[in-house]
Amino acid sequence: MTVSVEQVRYIARLARLAFSPEEERELAEEMSAILGYMQTLDELDTSDVMPMTHVLDLAGVVREDVVQPSITAEEALRNAPDSCGDYFRVPKVID
């Protein structure tokens, strides 16, 4: 199992992360080792096993659509890096 530096760059882009060339080389090596170890699962024949998505056998939980007390707009904005009035403010990203 070998993960290339190009693959690291591709995955980093999907994950919205950026790395230095040195970090990319290190990650390629570490991910190769870890993903290689994960391939031990290939020893098992699971063709007739259903995938398990969750340990609990729970059905969808529904409730009445009733307004409940919740946090205020002011509280919701309290941890924003930048805000203006009732809005989150972000850098200009479109022309």
Partner 1 sequence: MRWATFGSTRAALARGETTCEAVTTTFLRAIARKRHLNIYTYVDAEGALRTAREQDRQLATGEAPPLAGLVLAVKDVLCIRNWPVTCASRMLDGFNAVYDATAVARLRRQGAILIGRTNCDEFAMGSSNENSCYGPVLNPRNEIYAPGGSSGGSAAAVAAGLCHAALGTDTGGSIRQPAALCGVVGLKPTYGRVSRYGLVAFASSFDCIGPLTNSVEDAALILAAMAGVDERDATSAPVPVAPEPVGLTDAARCAGAALRVGVPKEFFGEGLDSTIRCSIEAILHRLRAAGAVVKDVAMPHTRYGIATYYILATAEASSNLGRYDGLRYGYRPAPDGRKRIDLHALYAQARSEGFGKEVKRRIMLGTYVLSSGYYDAYYAKAQRVRALIREDFDKAFQEVDALVTPVTPVPGIKLGSMINSPLKMYLSDIYTVTANLAGVPGLVIPIGAHASGLPIGLQLLGRPFDETHLFRLGELMMQLAKD
Q: What residues make contact with partner 1 under the rule CB under 8 A?
A: 3, 7-8, 11-19, 27, 30-31, 33-35, 37-42, 44, 46, 49-56, 58, 60-61, 63, 71, 75-76, 78-82, 88, 90-93
Q: Where does the chain show beta strands of DSSP type E?
A: 83-84, 87-88
Q: How far is CA 57 from CA 48, 52, 53, 61, 62, in A?
A: 20, 10, 10, 12, 16
Q: What are phi and psi of 60, to 5 degrees?
A: -60, 140
**For partner 1, which is the closer residue by CB, 21 or 81?**
81
**For partner 1, which is the closer residue by CB, 46 or 67?**
46
In the complex, least distance from residue 65 CB atom to partner 1, rounded to whole angstroms: 13
In the complex, least distance from residue 21 CB atom to partner 1, rounded to whole angstroms: 14
Please give the DSSP secondary-structure letter assigned to residue 83.
E
Distance between CA atoms of residues 28 and 3, nearest Å: 5
In the complex, least distance from residue 94 CB atom to partner 1, rounded to whole angstroms: 8
